């Protein structure tokens, strides 16, 4: 089978298309024939180990001190069950599935074995109203959006601002906020604002022309997807009992956030979703009820993975970038 080898920590060029024997599932595993995966900002950060020093050390301990050892990147997938181990009861050959692989990674490949009930990540049946490409791209953004907004208790009439709204998480948040009847303001680059308005944004801000934290508008929820808004000024813009959500926080932001939550009537949230099976099934129901769709910027084949990483790392992605895996078939 073909897969993308992660040869070292570094730029996109460290990713190489290689071949290896197709894996065989263990008794409690399923073998998935992958038709689609994604390139996320998180994949790019992992590839280059682009994290604060503490996380750099932790990840090198997890994945390999000098170079990643036997790890294949890719955190989202959709495909078809190719075969199952003898103890598997939930899935059977031919089932269409989608999910996230968690820290096990491995979706940049034609095939992947996963536990029927993964210890990290989650797997369930693909939404009937989504293609493989759409289903692969909805998992992480959808789960993170659900997690944060449920904890923020977004209700009709509330005012929500999303900073860095043009990616996979932000586009999912917009749809859920609108579904919950709240007003949403988005902040991103000028070239992304039109499609964000089409997605449902009530107001748009071009961050190259305006710093929202210096404005006079106040909000019930500020969701900083990229973790780069001014902390104190963002807190000041919150209404009473408001919530500031940071999806990619620094250690300093975490410390300050805990203090704000403890000592004021405002709350700072930064814990990521657990990607549990029940959460993925909840997301599937929302999708099948028609309340969320996937925003796909472009689809590229597996052998264009370096190009895909360059595009995402440059911040060009509008919604999601999907990697398609055809297996030599047509109509997939």
- The count of structural domains within the chain is 2
Domain span at 197: 141-269
- 88 is a domain residue: yes
Residue 329 pLDDT class (50, 70, 90 cuts):
low
Residues 256, 288, single domain; the answer is no
Q: Per residue in 75-117, pLDDT tens?
A: 999 999 999 999 999 999 999 999 999 989 999 999 999 999 9
Residues 28, 63, single domain; the answer is yes
Residues 188, 213, single domain; the answer is yes
Q: Are 309 and 4 in contact (CB under 8 A)?
A: no
Residues 83, 168, single domain; the answer is no
Q: Report, as an integer, the average pLDDT of 174-196.
A: 93
pLDDT at 332: 43
Instruction: Using the predicted structure, report yes or no on whether residue 210 has a pLDDT greater than 60.
Output: yes
DSSP string, 66-129: SS--S-----EEEEEEEEE-TT--S--TT-EEEEE-GGG---SBSEEEEESS-SSSEEEEPPTT
Residue of 279, 271, 178, 165 whose CA lies nearest to 222: 165
pLDDT at 121: 92
Whole-angstrom Cα distance, residue 279 to residue 108? 24
pLDDT at 136: 97
Residues 156, 124, single domain; the answer is no
Q: CB neighbours of 242 closer than 8 A, spacing ≥ 6?
A: 218, 219, 220, 221, 222, 266, 267
What does pLDDT average to over the chain? Answer: 93
Residues 297, 220, single domain; the answer is no
pLDDT at 306: 98
Q: How many CB atoms lie within 10 A of CB 181?
A: 11
Instruction: Using the predicted structure, report yes or no on whether residue 301 has a pLDDT greater than 80.
Output: yes
Q: CB neighbours of 50 closer than 8 A, spacing ≥ 6?
A: 44
Residue 331 pLDDT class (50, 70, 90 cuts):
very low
Which range among 2-6, 289-293, 327-331 has the greatest average pLDDT?
2-6
Residues 288, 173, single domain; the answer is no
Residues 134, 146, single domain; the answer is no
Q: Report, as an integer, the average pLDDT of 1-19.
A: 96
Whole-angstrom Cα distance, residue 278 to residue 122? 9
Whole-angstrom Cα distance, residue 299 to residue 317? 11
pLDDT at 103: 87
Distance of CA 70 to the CA centre of its chain: 23
Q: State the pTM of this model.
A: 0.90
């Amino acid at each position: 089978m073909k897969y993308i080898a992660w040869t070292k920590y570094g730029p996109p060029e460290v990713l190489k298309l290689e071949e290896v024997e197709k894996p065989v599932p263990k008794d409690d595993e399923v073998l998935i024939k992958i038709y689609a995966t994604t390139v996320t900002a998180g994949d790019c950060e992992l590839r280059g180990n682009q994290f604060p020093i503490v996380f750099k050390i932790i990840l090198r301990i997890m994945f390999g001190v000098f170079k990643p050892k036997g790890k294949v990147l890719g955190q989202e997938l959709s495909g078809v069950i190719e075969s199952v181990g003898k103890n598997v009861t939930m899935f059977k050959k031919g089932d269409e599935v989608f999910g996230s692989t968690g820290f096990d990674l491995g979706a940049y490949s034609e095939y992947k074995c996963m536990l029927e009930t993964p210890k990290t990540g989650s797997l369930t049946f693909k939404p009937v109203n989504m293609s493989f490409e759409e289903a692969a791209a909805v998992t992480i953004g959808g789960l993170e959006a659900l997690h944060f907004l449920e904890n923020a208790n977004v209700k009709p009439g509330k005012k929500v601002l999303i900073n860095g709204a043009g990616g996979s998480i932000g586009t999912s948040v917009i749809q859920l906020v609108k579904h919950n009847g709240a007003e949403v303001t988005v902040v991103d680059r000028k070239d992304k604002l039109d499609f964000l308005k089409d997605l449902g944004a009530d107001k748009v801000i071009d961050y190259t022309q305006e710093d929202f934290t210096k404005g006079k508008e106040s909000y019930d929820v500020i969701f900083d997807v990229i973790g780069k808004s001014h902390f104190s000024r963002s807190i000041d813009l919150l209404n009473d009992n408001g919530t500031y959500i940071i999806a990619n926080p620094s250690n300093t932001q975490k410390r300050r956030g805990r203090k704000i939550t403890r000592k004021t009537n405002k709350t700072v949230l930064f814990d990521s979703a657990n990607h549990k099976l029940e959460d993925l099934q909840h997301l599937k129901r929302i999708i099948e009820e028609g309340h969320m769709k996937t925003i796909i910027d472009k689809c590229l084949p597996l052998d264009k993975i370096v190009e895909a990483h360059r595009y995402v790392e440059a911040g060009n992605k509008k919604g999601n970038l999907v990697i398609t895996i055809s297996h030599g078939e047509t109509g997939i």
